[in-house]
């Protein structure tokens, strides 16, 4: 689930895709729901006014306009999903970085609905930018990648892997320019804390296959931060070429085979106008064997900036 572009002062309109929520309602005796700004399988994100704030938190004053992420009502009885939802909030609360979406508070209402209070972002996702512009030049991508990698490095330093990086989970904040504050990584719902659990379980595939590193699909070896680097390589290919390196219309098994075997469309074919040095950086980030990738995401960012 991602934060969609939304104006900050619009009046409440429409109804939520979750019938238990309506614009104008008061949630948990505290949050006045204004409008739904995103919806997904796990729940919804609302623009809301925090009418009371939180006394022990100076960043949540009464009247603060926030983004309220709510777990879908029918998922309350799913312990694994509730754990995943709460884990995202706990991870982000422990990490303070300008490129990571800021968590202001967490809670559970009287009906046991879990929610997370986040800073309200204005702008658009990288997915929306690509849908509008088609492709981005290496020079335009370089500062975005530097900001993303700086945020990921902070996350990785806490032993956390995002696990589902893709254009819809990169938010471009309006008016912030190329500084790290202009990019926010969102949706840590599939994140993995190193040494505690795997992102995949037998018979279950979580994440978006086209962005998943081969080792995620094969289950070979312990997962590490290089799965995020691989996903960034796919994002870079998509942004530079205007399309993914893998054919999504294929049977899922065939798609996963192509990922594992590194049979994606080469950037030289998809975007021959992209400089060779840039193509080489992307190819290394997307190397099927993780030992062939960069040592960390900061090294990837440096290499891309130099090539671009």
- Catalytic sites, residue numbers: 164
Contacts (Cβ under 8 Å, ≥6 apart) of 270: 237, 240, 241, 242, 243, 245
Can you tell me the distance from the alpha carbon of 122 to that of 194, in angstroms, rounded to the nearest whole number? 32
49 three-state secondary structure? strand
Contacts (Cβ under 8 Å, ≥6 apart) of 150: 97, 99, 180, 298, 301
Contacts (Cβ under 8 Å, ≥6 apart) of 100: 92, 151, 154, 155, 184, 185
**What's 180's DSSP letter?**
G
Can you tell me the distance from the alpha carbon of 201 to that of 300, in angstroms, rounded to the nearest whole number? 29
Can you tell me the distance from the alpha carbon of 196 to that of 219, in angstroms, rounded to the nearest whole number? 16
Can you tell me the distance from the alpha carbon of 199 to that of 213, in angstroms, rounded to the nearest whole number? 12
* Rg of the chain in Å (alpha carbons): 20
Closest CA to 82 of 185, 96, 26, 74: 74
Contacts (Cβ under 8 Å, ≥6 apart) of 58: none
Can you tell me the distance from the alpha carbon of 167 to that of 152, in angstroms, rounded to the nearest whole number? 15
């Amino acid at each position: 689930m991602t934060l969609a572009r939304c104006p900050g002062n619009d009046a409440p309109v429409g109804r939520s895709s979750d019938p238990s929520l309506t614009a104008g309602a008061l949630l948990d005796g505290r949050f006045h729901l204004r409008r739904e700004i995103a919806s997904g399988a796990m729940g919804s994100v609302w623009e809301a006014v925090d009418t009371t704030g939180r006394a022990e938190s100076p960043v949540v004053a009464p009247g603060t306009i926030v983004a309220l992420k709510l777990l879908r009502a029918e998922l309350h009885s799913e312990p694994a999903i509730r754990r995943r939802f709460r884990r995202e909030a706990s991870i982000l609360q422990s990490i303070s970085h300008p490129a990571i979406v800021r968590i202001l508070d967490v809670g559970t209402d009287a009906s046991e609905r879990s929610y997370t209070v986040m800073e309200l972002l204005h702008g658009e996702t990288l997915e929306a930018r690509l849908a509008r512009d088609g492709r981005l030049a290496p020079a335009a991508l370089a500062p975005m990648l530097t900001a993303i990698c700086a945020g990921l490095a902070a996350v990785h330093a806490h032993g956390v892997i995002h696990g589902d990086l893709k254009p819809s989970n990169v938010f471009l904040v309006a008016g912030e320019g190329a500084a790290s504050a202009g990019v926010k990584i969102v949706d840590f719902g599939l994140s993995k804390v190193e040494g505690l659990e795997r992102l995949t379980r037998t018979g279950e595939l979580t994440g978006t296959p086209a962005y998943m590193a081969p080792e995620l699909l094969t289950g070979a070896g312990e997962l590490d931060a290089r799965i995020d680097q691989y996903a960034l390589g796919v994002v870079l290919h998509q942004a530079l070429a205007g399309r993914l390196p893998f054919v999504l219309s294929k049977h899922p098994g065939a798609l996963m085979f192509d990922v594992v075997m590194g049979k994606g469309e080469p950037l030289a074919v998809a975007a021959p106008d992209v400089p060779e040095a840039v193509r080489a950086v992307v190819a290394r980030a997307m190397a099927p064997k993780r030992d062939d990738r960069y040592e960390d995401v900061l090294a990837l960012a440096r290499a891309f900036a130099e090539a671009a």
